[in-house]
Chains A and B, each alone.
Chain A
Amino acid sequence: MNGLTLSETDFLDYAPIGIIILMAVTFALANVVLTLMLGPSRKGKTKGMTYESGMKPIGTARKRFNIRFYLIAMVFLVFDVEVIFLYPWASTFPNIEPRSPEGLIWLGRIFFFMFTTVVAYIYGFRKGIFRFD
C-alpha cells in the first residue's frame, strides 16, 4: 500500500515483461525474415487474387456500401456491449445476500442499464434506420 521511492523500486521485477516483449518482437521478425529466405516464391494472377473463401471474386472490395449496413452494425454494437455487461452481472448477483437492500440496488442498476439500451433502440427506430426501402 505504501509508496516506494524510485530508488527502492526493484526493476528486476519487471524483467519478465521485458523478456516477453523481446520474445514477441523476435518471433514476429523471425517469421517474416525466415519466410523470405526459405519460402519458395511463385507469383501469378491466381496467386495475387483476393481470397474469397474459394469463390471467384466478383469485384473490388473498395466500393461503396449502403450506409444501412453501418447503422445496423452500430445498433448491433449497442446490444453486444449490453450482453457483455449482463453476463458478469448475472454471475455475481446470486452472491448477494437475498432480500438485502444491496440486492435491490443491484437489480435497479441493471434495469437502469437495460433501460438505456431500450432508449438507444427507440432512438434508432425513430431515426429510421430499420426502414429498408
Chain B
Amino acid sequence: MISIADKIATMWPEITLFIGTCIVMVLGLSSKLVMRKACSPVAGLSLIIAGLLALQNDDAVGVMPYLMPYAKALIAGVGLLLLMLLAGTVDRDQEMRIAGGAAFNPLSSTRAEFYAFFLFSLTGLMLCTGAEDLIWLFLALELTSLPTYIMVTISTSRSRGQEAGIKYFFLGALGAAIFLYGFALLYGGTGTTNLVEMQTQFAQGQINTIAMLGLILSVIGVSFKIAAVPMHFYTADVYQGAAAPVSAFLAFVPKAAGFFAIMLLVSTVGWNQGVAGGLPEPLHATLWMMAVATMTLGNVLALLQHSVKRMLAYSSIAHSGYMLVGVIAGPGETGSGSLGFVGNGLAAVLFYLFSYGVMNLGVFAVVACLEKTGDSGERVEAEQVGDLQGLIRTKPLLAVVLTICAFSLLGLPPMLGFFGKLPLFTSGIRAGEIPLVVILGLNSAIAAFYYLRLVKAAIIDEPAPNAEPLVSTPFGARTLAAGLSAAGVVVFIVLAGPVMRSSERAAVVRDVSALEVHDLADGQNAVPVAVND
C-alpha cells in the first residue's frame, strides 16, 4: 500500500500550482495595475516550477506507473503557451475604463477568477495523470472540467459566451453522470475502487458482465471530455461561443484529461483479452465504433464550416478519433520482441497529445491575434475563413504561422504532426487493425481539404476589395504564443527523439502477466516490471 507520505511526494507539482492559484486569486483583485498585471507572470512561474518538479519525481504509481513525469511536464509546457495566448482575454473593457480615469471595481473584475480557474483546471489535469483510484479519477476529472465552464462564460462579454457556457455545463454534467454511473458499476462488479486491484482481478480472468458494462459506460462518459462521438454535440457551439484563446484551452486541457482517464481505465483490462489478443471484445467494439464515427464525422462536418473556430472544433473531434486508434492498438509487446515506439499505441497517443497541443494552439493563436470592426462598431474576432483572405500581405508572420500549423495538423511530412500521426498508423498495423488504419488514412485525406482551404485563403487569395481591414489585438503575448507554437512545430521535427523516448517510457502499463498466483491474492504487493529504456 502506498502511504500518504509517498502519495504527497508525487503531488508537489499540483501543490505548487495550487499555491500559485491562491496568490493569483488575491493579486488579481488589487486596485494597483502593477499587481493585477502580475497575475499572469505568477501563474507562469508556478507552471515552470511545477514542470521542473514533475521531472524530478520518478516514483512508480498506479496502473501506468511512469505516466506522471512525462504527462505533467507536457501539461506545464503547453500550459505556458496557453497562458501567453490567454493574455488580455478578460477585463479588457474595464482596464480601458480604468486607464481613462475610472475607479477599479473588484465586483465586476474577472481577472483573478480567470487565472485562478486556469490554474485549477491544470491542477486537475495533473491529478488525473496520477490517479490510482476511481474516486480520485472522478474528482480530478471534475476539477479539470468545472473551471472550464466558467472560463467559457466569462471569456467574452457577449451573450454567445454565456450560451456556450450553459450548453457546455449541462452536457458536461450529463457526461459526468454517465461515467460516474460506469464507475459505480465497476465498483459493483469488482468490489474495489482501486485501479491496481481492479487490474489484478481482471488479469485473473474475472471480467464479469457488470464490470465490463461499467468500463464501457465510463469510457463513453469520459468521451465527453475528448469530444468523441457520441458525446461531441457541444463542441462546435462551445468553441465558437468562447473567445479564441479559451477555445484553444478547451481543445487541449479537457481532451488530455479524457485521454489520460481512458488510458488508465482501459489499462486495467489490458490488451491481451480478446480472441486474438487485444482488448476484450465488447470494449474493443465500442472503442472501434467510437474511433471510426469520431474521425469520419469530425472531418466531414469540418468540410462544411465557414467559421475557422467551428472548423477547428470539428477538426478537434477528428483528432480525438485518430488518437483512439492508438488506444485500441495498445502498448504492444514489451521486451525483446517489441517494435519500440512505432509499435506502441499508447506512446503514440501521448506523443500525439504533445504535437496536437503545440500545433493546434498555433492556429487558434492566429485567430486570437486578429480582430475586425463588427456591425455595431465594436471589435470582434475575425473568425470567418473569408476574413483571412490575403493575410500574407497584411500580416505575413501570422500567415506563415497559420500555414505551418495547418500543414502540421494535416500531417504533412516533415511537420511535427506527421511524426505524431505515423506511430498511430504503425501501431494500428502492428495490432492487426487494418480496416481501422485504412479509415484513418482516408480521413487524413479528407482533412487535407479544409486545412488547405485555410492555407489557400491566407496565402493565395487576394483580399476581398470591400473587406474590413484586420487589426492585430494589442497583446504581444498572443503573437509570441503563435510564433512559439510554429517554432515548436519546426524545432521538434529535429528534437522529437527525446520526447518520443519519454512518451514510450510513460506508456508502460503495469505488467500483470509475470505475477505468480500467490501474488494475485493481494494485488498490493505486485510491482511493475522494469522498463526497457
- Report if B1 contacts A (CB, 8 A): no
Question: Which one of B4, B5, B209 contacts A5 once the chains associate, using CB atoms below 8 Å?
Answer: B209
Q: Is the CB of B4 within 8 A of A3?
A: no
Chain A 1-24 interface mask (CB, 8 Å, partner B; 1/0): 111111000000000000000000
B29→A127 contact, CB < 8 A: yes
A32 adjacent to chain B (CB < 8 Å): no
Total number of B residues with any Cβ neighbor in A under 8 Å? 22
Within 8 Å of chain B (Cβ to Cβ): is A107? no
**B1-23 near A? 1/0 per residue, CB < 8 Å:** 00011001000000000000010
- Cα A127 to Cα B106 in complex, Å, equals 5
Contacts of A102 in B (CB 8 A): 4
Tell me, in angstroms, the Cα distance from A128 to B105 when the chains sit together.
Answer: 9
Q: Does B210 sit at the interface, judged by CB under 8 A?
A: yes
Interface residues on A, range: 10 to 19
Determine if A6 and B208 form an interchain contact, defined as CB atoms under 8 angstroms apart: yes
In the docked arrangement, what's the CA distance between A72 and B107, Å?
14
Check if B210 sits within 8 Å of A123, measured CB to CB: no
In the complex the two chains form, is A1's CB within 8 Å of B25's CB?
A: no
Tell yes or no: A105 within 8 A of B by CB: yes
Q: Is the CB of B206 within 8 A of A3?
A: yes
Give B161-201 as 1s and 0s: 1 = Cβ < 8 Å from A's Cβ atoms: 00000000000000000000000000001111000000001
Contact with B along A115-133 (1 / 0, CB 8 A): 1100100110011110000
Residues of B within 8 A of A122 (CB): 26
- Let me know if B191 and A3 touch, CB within 8 A: yes
* Cβ A128 vs Cβ B26 within 8 A: no
Name the interface residues of B22-65: CB closer than 8 Å to any CB of A: 22, 25-26, 29-30
B211 at the interface (CB under 8 A from A): yes
Contact A105 B26 (CB under 8 A): no
Partner of A126, one of B22, B106, B206: B106
Binary flags per residue of B99-139, CB closer than 8 Å to A gives 1, else 0 = 00000001100001000000000000000000000000000
CB within 8 A of A128: which of B8, B106, B189, B191?
B106
The CA of A4 and the CA of B4, in the complex, are separated in Å by: 32
Q: Are A3 and B189 in contact (CB under 8 A)?
A: yes
Is A94 positioned at the interface, with any CB of B under 8 Å from its CB?
no
Which residue from B8, B112, B191 sits with its C-beta under 8 Å from A123?
Answer: B112
A129 to B25, CA, bound (A): 15
Contact check, A3 vs B26: say whether CB atoms are below 8 A apart.
no
- The residue on A at minimum CB distance from B29 is A126
Q: A122–B26 Cα gap in the complex (Å)?
A: 7
* Pairs A-B, 9 closest by C-beta atoms: A126-B29, A3-B208, A119-B22, A6-B209, A128-B106, A1-B191, A5-B208, A123-B25, A127-B106
What are 9 contact pairs spanning A and B, CB under 8 A?
A: A3-B207, A3-B208, A4-B208, A6-B210, A119-B22, A122-B26, A126-B26, A128-B106, A129-B107
